[in-house]
C-alpha cells in the first residue's frame, strides 16, 4: 500500500487531481472564523476548501485565500450552485458573483448542490459551458442518486467527476459509492463525521482506545481505507490538526467491518427528490 498523507490526491475522470481530504466550511459565517480556520488548515497541509453559495461565506473564503498569499494552483477551491440559482442563465450569473466573492479567476470544482427537477438539464448545460470557458476546472454533483445520474447521462456531454454525498458510518451508502465508482465518479463524503453524532458509539470508542486515537480520527481513517474522499468541518485549530493526523495508523479488516456494521441508513439531510418521478420521462431500460 502506498503511504498516503494529508497531501494525497485522487485522479478524476477528466484528468484533474483532487485532494483526498479537505476542510468543509458549512455554518462558518463569521469572517474571522473562516480566515482562522482556513489558515490553520492550510498550515496543517489541507489544500481543498469546500464552500457553497448557500453557506453565505464565499466572500470570507475569498478573503482567507487571499490572506494565505500562496500560488493559486496550490489550492483546490470548491463551491456549489444553490437550488434557487439553477437554470442556465442563473447558473451563469450567480457563478460570476461567486467568482467575484471568492476573488478568483476560476474554481477547481463546481457542484450542483442538490438535484431538483426544474431546469435539471439546463443547469448541467451551464456547468459544461463554464468548464469549456475554463472558469471551472471540474464539474460535479451533490446528493445525486443513481436515478439522477442515469437520467443526467441521457443528455449530458460530460458526466460529473465527483458526487458529494452524505456518507458516514451511520449512512455508509455502499451501493451508491459502488455505483459512483463503476461510473468513474469520485464520491466525496459530506458530514463524514456524521456531524459528531457517532463519537459516543461504543464500537467507535473501543476502536479509538485501541489505537490511542480520537473517535473523529477513527471515523476519518475508516473513510480513507474505504476509498472515500472527505471534507470534515471544524473551526478549532486543534481539531483541524487532529483530523489531518490520520495517516500514521491502520484499521484492521475486522475493525473496518465493525464500523461498516454500524450502518443504519439514517440521514441528517432529507432524502433527495426523485427527479424522474416528476420529469416522468425517465427511460426504463
Ligand atoms: P461533519 O461530519 O464534518 O461534522 C462537523 C462537526 O463535527 C463540527 O461542527 C464539530 O462539532 C465536530 N468535529 C469535527 N472535528 C472534530 C474533532 N476532531 N473532535 C470533536 N468534534 C469534531 O459535518 P458537516 O460540517 O455537516 O460536513 C462537512 C462539510 O461537508 C461541510 O462543512 C460542508 O462543507 C459540506 N456539506 C455539504 C453538504 C451538501 O449538501 N453537499 C451538506 C452538508 C455539508
Range 9-278 classified under CATH 3.20.20.100 = yes
86-100 average pLDDT score: 98
Q: Which atom of ligand 1 is nearest to the CA of 26?
A: 32
113 is in an annotated binding site: yes
Domain boundaries, the chain: 9-278
Q: What is the pLDDT of residues 129-144, one digit of tens each?
A: 999 999 999 999 999 9
On the question of pLDDT at 102 being above 70, the answer is yes
Q: What is the pLDDT of residues 5-18, one digit of tens each?
A: 999 999 999 999 99
Q: Hunting for cell 450542483 — which residue is that?
A: 112
User: SS3 string of the chain?
Assistant: CCCCCCCCEEECCCCCEEECEEEECCCCCCHHHHHHHHHHHHHHCCCEEECCHHHCCHHHHHHHHHHHCCCHHHCEEEEEECHHHCCHHHHHHHHHHHHHHHCCCCEEEEEECCCCCCCHHHHHHHHHHHHHCCCEEEEEEECCCHHHHHHHHCCCCCCCCEEEEECECCECCHHHHHHHHHCCCEEEEECCCHHHCCCCCHHHHHHHHHHCCCHHHHHHHHHHHHCCEECCCCCCHHHHHHHHCCCCCCCCHHHHHHHHCCCCCCCCCCCCCCHHHHHCCCCCC
69-86 average pLDDT score: 97
CA of 243 to the centre of ligand 1 (A): 11
Note the pLDDT of residue 281.
44
CA of 83 to the centre of ligand 1 (A): 21
CA of 272 to the centre of ligand 1 (A): 19
Cα gap 115→14, rounded to integer Å: 22
Pocket of ligand 1 (CB under 6 A): 24-26, 50, 113, 142-143, 164, 190-196, 214, 216, 231-234, 239, 242-243
Cα gap 210→48, rounded to integer Å: 30
Q: Which atom of ligand 1 is nearest to the CA of 232?
A: 3
Q: What is the pLDDT of residues 173-203, one digit of tens each?
A: 999 999 999 999 999 999 999 999 999 999 9
Catalytic residue among 42, 46, 55, 170: 55
Catalytic (active site) residue 42: no
Instruction: Name which residue sits closest to atom 17 of ligand 1, judged by CA.
Output: 239
Find residue 186's DSSP bridge partners. 162
Cα gap 166→194, rounded to integer Å: 8
Single pTM value for the model: 0.96
Q: Hunting for cell 458530514 — which residue is that?
A: 191
On the question of pLDDT at 285 being above 80, the answer is no
222-233 average pLDDT score: 98
Percent above pLDDT 70 for the chain: 95
Amino acid at each position: 500500500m502506498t503511504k498516503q498523507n494529508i497531501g494525497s490526491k485522487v485522479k478524476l475522470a477528466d484528468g484533474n487531481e483532487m485532494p483526498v481530504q479537505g476542510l468543509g466550511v458549512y455554518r462558518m459565517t463569521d469572517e474571522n472564523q473562516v480566515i482562522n480556520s482556513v489558515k490553520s488548515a492550510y498550515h496543517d497541509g489541507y489544500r481543498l476548501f469546500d464552500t457553497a453559495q448557500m453557506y453565505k461565506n464565499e466572500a470570507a473564503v475569498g478573503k482567507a485565500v487571499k490572506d494565505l498569499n500562496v500560488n493559486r494552483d496550490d489550492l483546490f477551491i470548491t463551491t456549489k450552485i444553490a437550488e434557487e440559482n439553477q437554470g442556465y442563465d442563473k447558473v451563469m450569473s450567480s457563478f460570476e458573483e461567486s467568482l467575484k466573492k471568492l476573488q478568483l479567476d476560476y474554481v477547481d470544482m463546481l457542484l450542483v448542490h442538490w438535484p431538483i427537477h426544474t431546469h435539471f438539464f439546463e443547469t448541467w448545460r451551464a456547468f459544461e459551458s463554464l468548464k469549456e470557458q475554463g472558469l471551472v476546472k471540474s464539474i460535479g454533483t451533490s446528493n445525486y442518486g443513481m436515478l439522477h445520474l442515469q437520467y443526467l447521462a441521457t443528455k449530458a456531454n460530460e458526466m460529473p467527476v465527483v458526487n458529494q454525498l452524505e456518507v458516514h458510518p451511520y449512512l455508509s451508502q455502499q451501493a451508491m459509492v459502488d455505483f459512483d465508482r463503476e461510473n468513474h465518479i469520485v464520491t466525496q463524503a459530506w458530514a463524514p463525521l456524521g456531524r459528531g453524532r457517532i463519537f459516543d458509539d461504543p464500537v467507535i470508542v473501543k476502536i479509538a482506545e485501541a489505537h490511542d486515537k480520537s473517535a473523529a480520527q477513527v471515523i476519518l481513517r475508516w473513510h480513507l481505507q474505504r476509498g472515500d474522499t472527505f471534507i470534515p468541518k471544524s473551526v478549532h485549530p486543534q481539531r483541524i490538526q487532529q483530523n489531518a493526523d490520520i495517516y500514521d495508523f491502520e484499521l484492521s479488516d475486522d475493525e473496518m467491518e465493525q464500523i461498516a456494521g454500524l450502518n443504519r441508513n439514517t440521514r441528517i439531510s432529507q432524502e433527495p427528490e426523485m427527479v424522474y418521478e416528476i420529469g416522468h420521462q425517465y427511460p426504463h431500460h
